[in-house]
Amino acid sequence: MLAATSLRLAAAGQGGHAFVIPWENPAMTNWTAPAPYRVSLKNWVDYPGWKAFDKNTSTYVLSRQGVPGNPNWWIQLDCGAPKRVTEITFTVIPDYRPRGVYLSTSVDDVTWTHVAGGVEPEPAEGLSKTTVIADGAGMIGRYWKFHCQKTYANHRFTAIAEIVLRGFE
């Protein structure tokens, strides 16, 4: 998908000559590395939030819901500078799937824009789901926040194995 989007964006440039650099968030090794990337979150326990961005589906971050279905949690990646994100891949742990996950973005961490809803895979879709943003044209943002509205089977915890953002510099 990324290659097809790259070709479309290049063809749309002036005279067909656009310089497009593919981009994918790096594998995080802690909360703030590699710089300038940073992971932040609300209501997560036991497992560091940066593990949702470590490019390893064997590790995960676990949420604390408090009350089953409590929508009061989110996880966010600060890219350090605005990036055009054209697609995201969201991978879950089967027994602790989130439901109703939506993505929002911001360039200043103050004003937020809704990007997409339903970015998590449904049980019939398997463990991973890739969502194309704005028909492949993407959106520009520095901060990318994933909000959870519900859980499956009224679990008190939700686990995310991996989130990967892709796009262009």
Task: Establish if 13 belongs to a structural domain.
Answer: no
Task: Establish if 6 belongs to a structural domain.
Answer: no
Task: Establish if 10 belongs to a structural domain.
Answer: no
Task: Establish if 4 belongs to a structural domain.
Answer: no
Task: Establish if 11 belongs to a structural domain.
Answer: no
Domain holding 59, by residue range, is 22-168
- Please state the domain count of the chain: 1
From the list 8, 23, 18, the residue with the least C-alpha distance to 169 is 23
Peptide bond into 34 cis (omega under 30): yes
CATH number where 99 lies: 2.60.120.260
CA pair distance 88, 85, nearest whole angstrom:
8
Task: Establish if 37 belongs to a structural domain.
Answer: yes
Q: Where are the alpha helices (DSSP H) in the chain?
A: 2-12
- Report pLDDT digits (tens) over 50-98: 999 999 999 988 876 655 555 568 899 999 999 999 999 999 988 888 8
Structure tokens given for 108: 């200043």
pTM for this predicted structure: 0.84
- Report pLDDT digits (tens) over 8-55: 444 444 444 456 789 999 999 999 999 999 999 876 656 788 999 999
Burial label, 150 (beta-carbon count in 10 A; 0-12, 13-18, 19+): middle
Task: Establish if 116 belongs to a structural domain.
Answer: yes
Task: Establish if 69 belongs to a structural domain.
Answer: yes
Structure tokens given for 19: 């310089």
Q: Are strands 128-132 and 73-92 parallel, antiparallel or unpaired?
A: antiparallel
